[in-house]
Amino acid sequence: MAQNQKARETAAIILQAMKDRRSIRNYTGEAIPKEDLELIVEAGLTSASGHADYPWDIVVVQDLDTVHKLAGARAGSANMLKNAGAAIVVTADEQFSTWIEDCSIVLTNMHLLADAMGYGSCWIQIRMRPDAGGGNAEDFVRSLVKVPDGFRVEALLSIGVPEKEKTADDAARQAKRAGFAAEKVQYQ
């Protein structure tokens, strides 16, 4: 099927957004406007889902005190939440066979849109991880955020205003990743 010019242009924009995205861990501490969070969440809600089950539930945490407390959800790996402007908790009903994959797609879509909007974000894995005190990270999150009964916590997404702009080092990392990726693909 031959692609028209508009389709190729749209594809190029999407691919560039994917290439530009970075996990950002240093934020200014500014709150994120609700309207912006709604757009980021909409990106998650438009995600594909295995068997069209859509087993996820998203909890947007705007209360900065709670966002900062969520930093204890992981030993060191969630410290960026101490200065984040919001956190998004992605949960799902584990009775569905593709819940982990579906949550991953939701998180990826939100991660990409946050970056495209100029925000920093970072995926913080919760499922099957210990919290900062050595306990269960999912239980820690549940102690701070209402998670639906019977749902598992896959991950958190920190959202914040980046402390600094992307640098030339980011361009070098992007070039390295492109070269690495070329080595991982076979066409047969």
Q: Which stretches does DSSP call E strand in 1-85?
A: 56-61
Number of domains the chain contains: 1
Model pLDDT, residue 1: 54
How confident is the model over 124-140, as pLDDT tens digits? Answer: 999 999 999 999 999 99
Query: Is residue 186 domain-resident?
Result: no
Please name which of 155, 46, 151, 148 lies closest in space to residue 96, comparing C-alpha atoms. Answer: 151
Query: Is residue 128 domain-resident?
Result: yes
Q: Which domain holds residue 136?
A: 21-165
Query: Is residue 122 domain-resident?
Result: yes
Query: Is residue 106 domain-resident?
Result: yes
| Location of structure tokens 């609700």 | 34
Predicted TM-score of the model (pTM)? 0.93
Q: How far apart are CA 88 and CA 73, in angstroms?
A: 13
**CATH number where 147 lies:** 3.40.109.10
Please name which of 163, 180, 183, 176 lies closest in space to residue 26, comparing C-alpha atoms. Answer: 163
Give the distance, in angstroms, between the CA of residue 40 and the centroid of all CA atoms in the same chain: 10
Position 35 pLDDT exceeds 90:
yes
